[in-house]
Amino acid sequence: MHSFEKILLVSKEDIELESRGVKEISWDDLWLNPRRLRGSDFLMRWSQGVWSEKRLSDAVNRTNQFYAIPYGPSGTAPTDDVRAFELYFERLEAAGLGNIKRPDLLIFNIAEKLHVDSFLKDIGGSKELPFIAENELQSLIGRAIMAVECENSLWVAEKMPGYNMPMKPQKRLGGKMGLAKNTVLPTVIIKEQDRIPLNRWQTENNIPIHIWHVFFDKAYGLAFDEAERLVREGLIEPTIQIFQAPGGATTKKAIYKFYYHYAYPLGISTEKPTLVPDYVQDKNGHILPYIKFEGSSLQITQNTLKILNGL
């Protein structure tokens, strides 16, 4: 699967825009690029990811103690044009770098800001990072204190039915503490396909990776090593989900949903995001509307600051 489609994979259970009783949808013929965008869900997924990563970076940078920059291709790609976004991944594929997995953000102590900004200026900006081999980036990577893999969900965490539900001994876990499989609650998600490359990156660069999962009202963090321990000890089991790509192809993937009980409170929303209508138009005049996310502020918790300072 092309890297452009991988970045826009949407869990079928998260696809909310359904047309029941409609035999033909004219959007199926919409061509913005060599791959079809079959609905607004994929454009929303793109917009949602861009919004959540920027929200995290802004929150870190507002602490005036730490400095965050986008590092993976999802965060360094163009943010205001879906066609430019797709062409960015075409360039990655052409360079043979489309399948390289890197964390989404790098976090530095604020004292490193001048060095980081100078390095990025010399290479043409952060958007060029994915096109440079990591052995040429060590003077940048080596100064980071943490790498972050970003995830996001279209939920208000505190209103989810399983929020504040205590864990209980579970038969399927051999009596270990957990929750029923169908419990709807905030979780920090890691994809099975990402575990090996993230572990390799962390080991090779000797920089801890944390997973930061953003909801509308708050965010949670989980150290990658802690996530691996929870899986290894049988406290968290894989969930099989069906994902759909913009071109229509579906694939089954295992993901791990870590209860927020195991995570640390990363940030609290101090301003609600605004949902803004937008659309893309192809060369033939077809319109594909979608909703994008704007605004909102996230305040990093003191707990998170202690973790960062401890690194």
Predicted pLDDT of residue 163: 97
pLDDT tens per residue across span 222-251: 999 999 999 999 999 999 887 666 666 777
| Among candidate residues 186, 246, 243, 217, the one with its CA nearest the CA of residue 4 | 246
User: Higher pLDDT residue, 255 or 287?
Assistant: 255
Which pTM was predicted? Answer: 0.84
User: Cβ distance 73 to 118 under 8 Å?
Assistant: no
Q: Which two tokens stand for residue 280?
A: 């893309």
- Domains of the chain, each with CATH number or no CATH: 3-17+24-310 (3.40.1350.10)
Q: Which two tokens stand for residue 297?
A: 């502020």
- Distance, in Å, from the CA atom of 48 to the CA atom of 170, rounded to the nearest integer, reads 34
pLDDT tens per residue across span 17-61: 443 443 443 434 333 443 444 455 666 777 777 788 899 999 999
- Distance, in Å, from the CA atom of 190 to the CA atom of 186, rounded to the nearest integer, reads 13
- Distance, in Å, from the CA atom of 256 to the CA atom of 192, rounded to the nearest integer, reads 7
Predicted pLDDT of residue 87: 77
